[in-house]
């Protein structure tokens, strides 16, 4: 865990008011692409909120038009990520799995902390954005939100995996085998989100729920969050997250992953992503 204060955060914002801590991903110019620095700051902020006796819940959002477009490919696809003296790179399977597990430990604060976290999702919630949102206790989204993990088409599998517990095995497979997107209203209908509302009502909907949570003793909030999460653990949720990181490392050995990396080097990230996704055309799932 890093030791700085909220005023030092570079990739997120943090404030406490009316019984809630508001944490916002704050790289709107990059559609809140998730860097390792962001994950470390988010973990720090979550435990800070969990320790604050004024806070009954956390509202996690993204500044700008999107919750998050996913992991920062400029960082995660870099061929220069080869380590340094006495530090791991990503040269072996175990190196890769170790790095993925280190990042996952940051995200698991959402699951492990005692106080509930509400994800307020608008616009794109893609790839790493879903890894964060689906570890939250409650997801409320706008009708025009889009949930998807398009890197599953070429780059690997999911380094965190809560889809199964939200939508069941068939819908999890339908979404992840193709990387296709689920709109906000369908996400709510299938259980990926608790509720979907018009974009102009999203903030108020989340605040209304946070207001209700602020009326409840934090000890009781912790009891009720943690018993449900213990049930998820008994259904294998924590083991599945650990397995997901190793499975993603395995997925990184696929030929399509190497092809994608070559396209990044030759054409740049933007064009490589376009080349990956163009064959899928309109990828919004229509139930």
Structural domain contains residue 1:
no
The CATH number given to whatever domain includes residue 130 is 3.90.226.10
Evaluate whether residue 137 is within a structural domain: yes
Q: What is the pLDDT of residue 2?
A: 54
Q: How far apart are CA 162 and CA 245, in angstroms?
A: 12
Look up the domain containing 151 and give its range.
6-200+216-280
Dist CA 143 CA 162 (whole Å):
21
CA distance 160 to 96: 14
Residue 208 in any domain: the answer is no
Please check whether residue 207 lies inside any domain of the structure.
no
> Tell me, what's the pLDDT at 80?
44
**Within-domain flag for 18:** yes
What's the pLDDT tens digit per position in 76-129? 555 445 555 556 666 799 999 999 999 999 999 999 999 999 999 999 999 999
Residue 209 in domain: no
pTM of the model: 0.93
pLDDT digits (tens, 9 = 90+) for 183-206: 999 999 999 999 999 999 999 999
Quick check: is 88 in a domain? yes
Which residues are CB-neighbours of 175 under 8 A, at least 6 positions away? Answer: 147, 148, 149, 163, 167, 182, 285
| Number of domains present in the structure of the chain | 1
pLDDT in tens, the chain (287 residues): 455 788 899 999 999 999 999 999 999 999 999 999 999 999 999 999 999 999 999 999 999 999 999 999 877 555 445 555 556 666 799 999 999 999 999 999 999 999 999 999 999 999 999 999 999 999 999 999 999 999 999 999 999 999 999 999 999 999 999 999 999 999 999 999 999 999 999 999 999 999 999 999 999 999 999 999 999 999 999 999 999 999 999 999 999 999 999 999 999 999 999 999 999 999 999 98
List, in sequence order, every residue forming a beta bridge with 12; answer none if it has no partner: 25
Residue 285 lies in a domain: no
């Amino acid at each position: 865990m890093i030791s700085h204060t909220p005023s030092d955060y570079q990739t997120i914002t943090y404030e406490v008011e009316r019984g809630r801590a508001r944490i916002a991903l704050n790289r709107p110019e990059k559609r809140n692409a998730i860097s390792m620095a962001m994950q470390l700051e988010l973990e720090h902020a979550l435990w800070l909120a969990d320790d604050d006796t004024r806070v009954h819940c956390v509202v996690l959002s993204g500044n700008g038009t999107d919750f998050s477009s996913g992991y920062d490919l400029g960082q995660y696809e870099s061929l220069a990520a080869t380590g340094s003296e006495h530090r791991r790179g990503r040269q072996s399977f175990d190196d890769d799995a170790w790095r993925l597990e280190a990042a996952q430990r940051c995200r698991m604060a959402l699951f492990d902390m005692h106080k509930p976290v509400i994800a307020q999702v608008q616009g794109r919630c893609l790839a790493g954005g879903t890894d964060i949102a689906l570890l939250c206790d409650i997801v409320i989204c706008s009708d025009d939100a889009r949930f998807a993990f398009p890197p599953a088409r070429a780059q690997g599998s999911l380094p965190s995996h809560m889809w199964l517990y939200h939508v069941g095995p068939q819908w999890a497979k339908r979404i992840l085998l193709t990387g296709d997107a689920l709109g906000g209203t369908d996400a709510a209908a299938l259980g990926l989100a608790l509720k979907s509302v018009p974009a102009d009502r999203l903030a108020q909907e989340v605040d209304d729920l946070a207001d209700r949570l602020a009326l409840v003793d934090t000890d009781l909030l912790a009891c009720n969050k943690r018993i449900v999460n213990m049930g998820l653990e008994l259904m294998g949720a924590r083991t599945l997250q650990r397995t997901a990181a190793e499975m993603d490392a395995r997925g990184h050995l696929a030929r399509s992953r190497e092809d994608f990396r070559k396209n990044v080097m030759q054409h740049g990230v933007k064009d490589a992503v376009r080349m990956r996704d163009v064959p899928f055309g309109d990828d919004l799932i229509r139930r």
